[in-house]
Amino acid sequence: MQLRGQATWLYDLARIWATRSGEQVVLVSANDHVHSWNSAHYADRAVDIQGTGLDGLAEWYRGLGLLVYWQVPGHWQHVHVEVGPPCPQATGTC
C-alpha cells in the first residue's frame, strides 16, 4: 500500500502513538479500497487503522483536532481518521 499526501502523516501519528503507548497499529486502508464516492480516502486525507488499544488511539487523534470515526456504523473494526479539506484561499475562512 502506497501512502500519499496527508495519509502518510496520519499513519505516522498512529505509529508515534503506538510506540509511546506500547500498543500496536496496522494500516488497513488508505486510497486503495472501495469507499463512499466522496470519501477523504480518495483525496489522500484519510486512513483506516486496526490494532490494540484503539479507544486510546481514537481519543488521541481527537485531541489533535482530527475527525475520527470509531465504534459507529461501518467503523466497528477499525479507526477511521481524516484531515479536513484544505482551507479555500479565496475566502480566507475555514
In a domain, 74, yes or no: no
Calpha distance 93→4 (Å, rounded) = 26
pLDDT at position 44, please?
Answer: 80
Count of structural domains within the chain: 1
In a domain, 31, yes or no: yes
Q: Which domain holds residue 18?
A: 1-38
Task: Name which residue leads in pLDDT, 19 or 2.
Answer: 19
> Is the pLDDT reported for residue 11 higher than 70?
yes
Q: What is the mean pLDDT of residues 8-15?
A: 95
Q: What is the mean pLDDT of residues 9-21?
A: 96
- List, as one string, the DSSP characters of 51-93: ES-HHHHHHHHHHTT-EEE-SSTT-SSSEEEEPPPPPPTTT--
In a domain, 26, yes or no: yes
pTM of the model: 0.83
Count of Cβ atoms closer than 10 Å to residue 9 Cβ: 13
Q: What are the tens digits of pLDDT across the range 23-79?
A: 999 998 877 766 666 777 777 888 999 999 999 999 999 999 999 999 988 888 999
